[in-house]
């Protein structure tokens, strides 16, 4: 997603609701909130959170249902439920599906698991941070070199944190120390580079947005270094997912509130559902069903039909495919020339 080259005051004929940059900036309040939780835990709660929080948010089924999966499903729904979008991007979707299938087959046969994991982790981190930096770029008006510099440093540091959290049980002490040291250096360089580049943000609001994205990485690293792994992942995950939903809901409201243009919103209108709740309700419901029951149901069916079970065919296979497709399609579906963008506008 990117707000680059978009007038924040201009609404198109199709856009009656605009994405508020103030609302997007407000999402970064999760950073001081999580930092205060960490401080209070040490000052008053005798490290209760440190000892009881899971090592990763993904160990909570509730977290998986609330974050990550729903916005990936919502992205797929927006694409496939609107025929004109699917037709417009059908060649890219088909080619990416083939590429994922080939990469999965080749990867399982020839690429070591750790290498494959780091590749997927890197793409995940790049996707998350590219969205936030892309939006901020439209406000800060950074030149290309400054944008690429800050994004590259953020992604590099983010990859170290991500791998350090999710792979730490498979790493020895020296590897963990190397990741933390590398992330620390990258964070220092990122902070110094932001000081140098902030002159391009000519407004106070732009500087706030610029530093909020940097603090997203710095706070995640600090929480990781303090072993608050749950909070370290929660910070960027919340900002990214909530930002995505603001775009999705705004798009769908502008497109469907006057007259439903696809079967989902026509059915919702007959049921009396407000346009604001349709996409979140469907995506959260599907996330819950697939995460909680998908593998169990598929295994029961395959066991009954063929006497065998498949390993996590829903949570790894289907949701993994949707995640990779989401990372790919989000790189172009919200660009200035995309059909999506006729239903999106911005305001302060």
Q: Does residue 279 lie within any of the structural domains?
A: yes
State in Å, rounded, how far the first CA of the chain is from the last one.
17
Per-residue pLDDT reduced to its tens digit, 164-199: 988 888 888 999 999 999 999 999 999 999 999 999
- DSSP symbol at 291: I
pLDDT in tens, 53-93: 876 555 556 666 677 889 999 999 999 999 999 999 999 99
Q: 224 near 161, Cβ under 8 Å? A: yes
To 5 degrees, how large is the angle CA 61–CA 37–CA 284? Answer: 30
For 307, phi then psi, to 5°, come to 70, 25
Tell whether 173 is covered by a domain. yes
Where in the sequence is the domain holding 313, given as residue range(s)?
Answer: 19-347
Which of the four pLDDT bands, split at 50, 70 and 90, describes residue 346? confident
Tell me the pLDDT band of 123, cut-offs 50, 70 and 90. very high
**Length of the chain counted residue by residue:** 348
Q: How far apart are CA 205 and CA 141, in angstroms?
A: 12
Instruction: Answer with the residue of higher pLDDT: 347 or 304.
Output: 347
| C-alpha dist (Å) from residue 197 to 12, 22, 149, 208 | 32, 22, 9, 13
One DSSP character per residue, 257-277 reads: SSS--SHHHHHHHHHT--HHH
Give the number of domains in the chain.
Answer: 1
The Cα-based distances of 112 to 109, 115, 116 in angstroms read 8, 5, 6
Q: Tell me if 291 sits within 8 A of 315, measured CB to CB.
A: yes
Please write the tens of the pLDDT for every residue from 274-295. Answer: 999 999 999 999 998 998 888 8
Residue 135 neighbours by CB distance under 10 Å: 24
CA atoms within 13 A on the CB side of 141: 11
- Determine, yes or no, domain membership for 123: yes
Specify if 13 maps to a domain: no
- Answer yes or no: is 12 within a domain: no
CA distance 24 to 20: 6
Q: Tell me if 243 sits within 8 A of 213, measured CB to CB.
A: no
Say what the pTM is: 0.89
Q: Judge whether 4 lies within some domain.
A: no
CA 204 to the chain's CA centroid = 26
Say if 259 falls within a structural domain: yes
Strand partners for 347 = 20
Q: Are 239 and 30 in contact (CB under 8 A)?
A: yes
Q: Assess if residue 7 is contained within a domain.
A: no
Helix (H) or strand (E) holding 317: none
Neighbouring C-alpha atoms within 13 Å toward the C-beta of 64 = 17
Q: What percentage of the chain's residues is helix, strand, coil (to nearest 5)?
A: 80, 0, 20
């Amino acid at each position: 997603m990117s707000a680059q080259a978009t007038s924040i005051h201009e609404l198109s004929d199709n856009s009656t609701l605009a994405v508020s940059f103030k609302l997007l900036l407000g999402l970064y309040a999760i950073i001081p909130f999580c930092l205060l939780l960490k401080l209070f835990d040490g000052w008053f709660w005798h490290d209760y959170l440190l000892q009881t929080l899971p090592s990763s948010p993904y160990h909570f089924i509730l977290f998986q249902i609330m974050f990550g999966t729903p916005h990936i499903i919502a992205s797929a729904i927006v694409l496939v439920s609107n025929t004109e979008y699917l037709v417009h991007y059908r060649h890219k979707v088909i080619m990416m599906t083939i590429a994922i299938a080939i990469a999965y087959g080749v990867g399982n046969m020839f690429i070591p698991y750790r290498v494959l994991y780091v590749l997927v982790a890197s793409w995940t981190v790049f996707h998350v941070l590219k969205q936030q930096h892309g939006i901020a770029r439209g406000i800060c008006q950074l030149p290309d070199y400054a944008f690429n510099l800050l994004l590259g440093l953020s992604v590099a540091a983010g990859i170290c944190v991500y791998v350090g959290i999710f792979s730490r049980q498979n790493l020895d002490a020296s590897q963990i120390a190397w990741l933390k040291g590398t992330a620390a250096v990258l964070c220092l360089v990122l902070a110094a580079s932001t000081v140098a580049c902030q002159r391009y943000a000519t407004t106070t609001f732009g500087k706030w947005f610029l530093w909020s994205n940097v603090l997203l990485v710095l706070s995640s690293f600090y929480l990781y270094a303090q072993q608050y792994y749950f909070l370290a992942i929660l910070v960027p995950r919340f900002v990214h997912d909530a930002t995505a939903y603001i775009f999705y809901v705004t798009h769908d409201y502008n497109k469907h509130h006057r007259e439903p243009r696809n079967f989902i919103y026509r059915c919702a209108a007959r049921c009396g559902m407000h346009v604001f709740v349709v996409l979140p309700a469907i995506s959260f419901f599907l996330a819950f069903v697939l995460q909680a029951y998908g593998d169990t149901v598929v295994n029961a069916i395959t066991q009954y039909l063929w006497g065998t079970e498949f390993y996590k065919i829903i949570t790894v296979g289907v949701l993994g495919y949707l995640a990779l497709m989401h990372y790919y399609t989000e790189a172009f579906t919200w660009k200035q020339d995309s059909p999506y963008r006729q239903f999106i506008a911005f305001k302060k």
